[in-house]
Structure 1
Amino acid sequence: MALLNNDKDILPLSSIAELLTAKVRTLKMYEDKGLLPKKTDGKKLYSINDVKIIAFVHYLASAKKINANGIKYITEMLENNMDEKNKADFLDIVETKMEKLSGIDVKDVDII
């Protein structure tokens, strides 16, 4: 059996919304504001690694109530100042903390 490639773009926003228990409309809003990983191939499919970033963006917007400019600043710092290993380790820590939150703690946001 081949190993999974976490960089392969396979998931549409609707599937990611279901995984995050978020609204597709909310994720499209993040996309419109430039908060999601850029897709240049014309398809709007995302990888498992992209899902981690999208989950982090959703967490910052919904749980921490950070606006779009703040989220852009944070994600740019993450992208520009961390190597891939440290970035992956950081996102794993964030994912662990997010798993401890209940659905009540993280509300879906319509305005960012």
Structure 2
Amino acid sequence: MALLDNNKDVLPLASIAEILNAKIRTLRMYEDKGLLPKKKDSKKLYSISDIKIVAFVHYLASVKKINANGIKYIIEMLNTNMDEKNREEFLVTVEEKMEKISTSDINEVEII
């Protein structure tokens, strides 16, 4: 049995929207604003690891009501001031907190 490569780009944004119980239109808006991991391929597939970043962006926008510039700054800080291990631990902690929030508590943000 082959091991799962969490960094291989295999998921379209529509699948991630379904996983996060978010609107595809909202995630495409994040993508257009440059808040999601950059993809060189025209297919714009995302990895399992990318889902944590997409979920974090969605959390910041929809729950914490942070605008696009604020989210860009936070993501930049994560990428430049944290090593990979600490960043991963931080995203796991955020993911655990997000799981405690019911989907009825999250209001979709259509405009950042």
Do both proteins adopt the same fold according to a TM-score greater than 0.5, normalized to the shorter chain?
yes
Segments ≥4 residues shifted beyond 2 Å: none
- Name 1:99's counterpart in structure 2: 99
Residue identity in the other structure for 2:31: E
CA RMSD of superposed structures (Å): 0.7
| Residue 25 of structure 1: aligned partner | 25
Residue ranges of structure 2 left out of the alignment (5+ in a row)? none
SS for the counterpart of 1:61 is helix
The aligned length equals: 112
Q: Which runs of 5+ in 1 are unaligned?
A: none
Aligned-partner Cα distance in 2 for 1:65–1:49? 24
- 2:104 aligned counterpart, secondary structure: coil
Partner residue, 1:15: 15
Report the residue type matching 2:27 in the other structure. Answer: L
Could you tell me the TM-score, scaled by structure 1's length?
0.97
Q: How does 1:1-112 map to 2 (within 5 A)?
A: 1-112=1-112
